Structure 1
């Protein structure tokens, strides 16, 4: 693997680390936020899901901007917004102020969730695209684990008081502010990153594209790569992406598959675990530290995401998703039965949740951002990926907003039973509509009939 491609992919994928950190850090602050801002189930759901409003906004508009102005400027913008969110959230004096800065952080997440995998997929060779684009998901789960771990450290060690002179009542502020360091690292790391050569070619900037391709390919390979990409770029359509082209008949079915796929990914229920893990564990009687159990979910998520690296370019995307959907459906169904029978005084609930996370990480978690970034044509990739990611974050918002209400009204049995059904539906959708993309160049994927 070319070292420049690897290094740049890792740098860009740091946006995923901030993505994961920003979305998961809220879980460790819930108890304090309920106390400080006097939140009930509905307002708690709003505080948690407010970031997802920003995600929806960022994801909806960033694709068109990326197709017009390039990938790199939007990545730099996301880094700045992550920094603003971290500072503002930690200094919030009211629930409304916190919601505002969480929305700003959500916009940053929405931008990163669209642009990071697109950029990596556009510089990666076809045979390595799955593993390289998966770096986005690996850094996301690393960010989730980092958020869980930093929450636990802040809450259970003397670091907050001795190093930062933060009282126990304000630990939640330090949890949010911990994001400042990776945000600064991400911004500085992006400065030397070149613009995507595929985007440059859609703007007829062949000189800069060749300059970038020299970092990634041997001299004898550059002309072949250049010609291959140029042959699949429409001169008129590539100059200016418009909505009419995105929804044109030849792209319409592919767009619908991408939108539905991205939305169903949230109906698996993975983020109710990451956002509300402490609330779920509060209903069990294992007796161990709730925040430590939450850290375990992050560790399992990371380990099985790394395991997926071995399979995504060998077994392919579709087989992994089929396996994951069925396995997650079974896990949720058994979890529902345990809550129905009120057999919660052991570690079986924790084991089931860890298994569910493992099944997600090795399947949907490994494929979601890879697949969205690769199924659309070059000329509309930014805008179409943005629409699909908008659907993902929109569904994430609804799931996160409604989970505390469902848990309060349906109980664990009804809530997890409902998500077992959603996972079975996701299996049927993948079986019927998802087409395989492993080992195929981005330009050749355009010619696959759907």
Structure 2
């Protein structure tokens, strides 16, 4: 190729940013545009991670350093497949990497799941994180709430629901979120895990954070603390699982503490239905028993729990993109080592994938880095045979967006908005206060000074 490689990355979350980082390290001349439908970078780190996770939020510092590279350009508020069609991308870029992640809730097919008061955890997380595309009101009227799931998202949701709003006021939550959480009448949050304590998906750090609040008593119901040979093998082989199990066992036998709110952890309880006349009034679970290999089966013993709201946290799901194959069962784009494959099993020239839409919504930041590395290795191996962009000048795509009248944001604009949000928090001793409305974020980002 007689000119530098031009690559577009669709998605400005960790997966997309790490892919860009691998690219510029793999070639001294490649230039990358990271394009996102949101006006801001960082994806689920900004809009999916609970605001009381300062250590996880520090990942943004590392991502910021990558985006500061002059060979990487952020273009926000542009929706791939809507504002810019795939065929238009081929005009400007030699290759496109899909890194759109997974930000939708996986469905849970049980009776009553559609009742008023039944919610997806991802939608709730978007609300309390100030996502611009969700309604700004949330009906926090329940005194008793069920959270279905045993992963980090379930723990986040349960913790945010159980904590008092004043405990969260030091974080970056928007004012409307604070006001609605402050008015919440919740007294009890029940978290249900279908499997045992050795099969939980949350981390020890996430688990410990449940027990930090002076206003919340964490109650581990001991009847679910059971282990079979498969569980014991997992505990022996996996350090973080052993740490979680030790914490849970200690909590299960400690003396009660008199606190105004309670967070109940139930293991070996599988939700089978949600009851109510037009709205959530109860949830029914079936007690499970371990089968020797770490899996479970139902016992036929059912319990009805008095709750007025249910949050399902059973996994994230990616959505299909225009003109690309998509496996609806796994929620992923078919690929081989990051090369997107068509329905005939052939590589679509110039098209690649990384992150959760490649492997499914599993794994931590370390997995995302390795995943991006595999994809970039494939792309660089294909570099000499990639279809050539016909208008590869980096200025061309900007001129095209301006000609179309598309209101896009930039890295410089994000830095303006970033400083503005930090300044909003300073008078109140907070790290930042998020700007929520899309039009307001765009307007502020354009006030370069």
TM value normalised by structure 2: 0.25
User: If each structure's helix is expressed as a fraction of its own residues, which one has the higher value?
Assistant: 1
TM value normalised by structure 1: 0.24
Kindly name which structure, 1 or 2, has the bigger radius of gyration based on alpha carbons.
2
User: If each structure's strand is expressed as a fraction of its own residues, which one has the higher value?
Assistant: 2
